[in-house]
Amino acid sequence: MVQRYDAIIIGTGQAGPPLAVRLGKYGRKTAIIERKLVGGTCVNNGCIPTKALIASARAAHIARRGADFGVILNDAVRVDMSAVKARKDAIVQQSNRGVTEWLHSAPNVTLIEGHARFEGPHAVRVGDELLEAKQIFINVGGRAAVPDMPGLADVPYLTNSSMMEVDFLPEHLIVVGGSYIGLEFAQMYRRFGSRVTVIEMGPRLIAREDEAVSAAVQAILEGEGIEFRLNATCLRAQRHGSGVRVGVSCEQEPREIIGSHLLLAVGRVPNTLDLGLETTAIRTDARGYIEVDDTLATSVPGVWAMGDVNGRGAFTHTSYNDFEIVAGNLLDGEARRVSDRIPAYALYIDPPLARIGMTEHEVRASGRKALVGKMQMARVGRARERSETQGYMQVLVDAEDQRILGAMLLGSEADEAIHCLLDVMYAQAPYTVITRAVHIHPTVSELIPTLLGDLKPLV
């Protein structure tokens, strides 16, 4: 028998649950389907657990640096990995339970467990049940990409998901992939006590950032003893006893790196291959991401795609914003668009890297006249007080209309401090609003007016 709903949501990522609750409140009979863990990647094997683990790693790091602050520990710092995992699990369970209970208690919302697959543009099968609705919202997210690396099929490897089960200290963790996810795990495990080598195919880390930023991040991580092997163009894997041997170069010695464990962090792929999209006219791009317009509508009327699966964002805040756009347009009579969103994200190494708007490279490529302000974190009183002076801040301003074009803050509290710049960008106000603002002392944010007060032409 066909179950009829007003709306069906596939996936409980960062957009699906709030949309289900909103639709339910509007009296729409809504089904939300989850095949695995309620709350999706961020809650279960993405942001929340990694940031909980990073907090443990930071505690170990600070403990080791105790003497810098005049704090003397009599014994060497020891990390209990099962306690680290148990703490992480408790934090994850709280969030997972919170979302599950929220959905169960929401009026007009039914949470269905199982894998959903389209059987036509407005029909979805979950096990024996066939569900139909005029409105369908896809929020199926993505998963770790597994590269086509010779020998990989014969070696055990970890991804961000299986890393969540690790309750021991790898002796030597090899991380393939020098971008966001790889670097967070690399620093975390180095601080837990592992030897860590990061292998990156490109000539530098975090390729989407400016070259100077990549270099600064690498220097910070090398300072903690993380080893890097860039330009690894001859990647291959082989078993080596209970560990793994990873080939990195076909010409340059050492050609191989031997480690105890291998983590793959080479990007994400959308969960669209097993969604039955071939039974619909929903279009995907060459990489499998669902094509959407500025309101997140797919090529099939009445079907929307939200979150990582639409390729328009890859973050929790972009997925949640997708919910806001869809709900605003469908329920609140607003006219919201994805193109109104300003790129913003952070890389949670310690100290963090926060980025908004355009990079210096993008500003130069745009050909516009721009001003640039740069300041070392060593000038920031708050950073000095904490003995955390690594990194620098950079802001780019349009020389003609005085609007902020972009900023990069690498340093203590960077992920928080950047929001004063971001909010002024959203307000479409000139940067002088900030230079005239009085910020609280002693914070990292208090130096942002000073940073903006000393702009020079970008030559």
Ligand X SMILES: Cc1cc2nc3c(=O)[nH]c(=O)nc-3n(C[C@H](O)[C@H](O)[C@H](O)COP(=O)(O)OP(=O)(O)OC[C@H]3O[C@@H](n4cnc5c(N)ncnc54)[C@H](O)[C@@H]3O)c2cc1C
Q: Provide the binding-site residues for ligand X, judged by CB under 6 A.
A: 10-15, 33-37, 40-42, 46-47, 50, 115-116, 139-142, 160, 181, 271, 275, 307-309, 314-317, 319, 348
Nearest to 101 by CA among 160, 180, 39: 39
Q: Which is nearer to ligand X, 95 or 319 (CB)?
A: 319
Nearer to ligand X by C-beta: 313 or 373? 313
439 is a catalytic site residue: no
User: Smallest gap, in angstroms, from Cβ of residue 386 to ligand X?
Assistant: 22
**Cα 223 from Cα 156, distance rounded (Å):** 29
- At closest approach, how far in Å is the CB of 41 from ligand X? 3
CB atoms within 10 A of CB 70: 6
Distances (CA, A) of 132 to 118, 124, 140, 306, 369: 10, 6, 18, 19, 54
Catalytic-role residue among 61, 261, 361, 441: 441
Q: Is residue 277 within 8 Å of 136, Cβ to Cβ?
A: no
Q: What are phi and psi of 451, to 5 degrees?
A: -55, -45
Transcribe 204-246 into DSSP letters: SSSTTS-HHHHHHHHHHHHHTT-EEE----S-EEEEETTEEEE
H or E element, residue 173: strand 172-176
Residue 158 contacts by C-beta under 8 Å, 6 or more apart in sequence?
Answer: 166, 261, 262, 263, 264
- The nearest distance, CB 316 to ligand X, in angstroms, is 4
- Which residue's CB is nearer to ligand X, number 41 or number 284? 41
Q: How far is CA 7 from the centre of its chain?
A: 28
Question: Residue 253 CB, nearest distance to ligand X (Å)?
Answer: 33
Tell me how far, at minimum, the Cβ of 393 lies from ligand X, in Å: 20
Which of 380, 407 has the CB closer to ligand X? 407
**Coil, strand or helix at 65:** coil
C-beta of 118 vs 392, nearer to ligand X: 118
- Residue of closest CB approach to ligand X: 141
Catalytic positions, written as ranges: 441
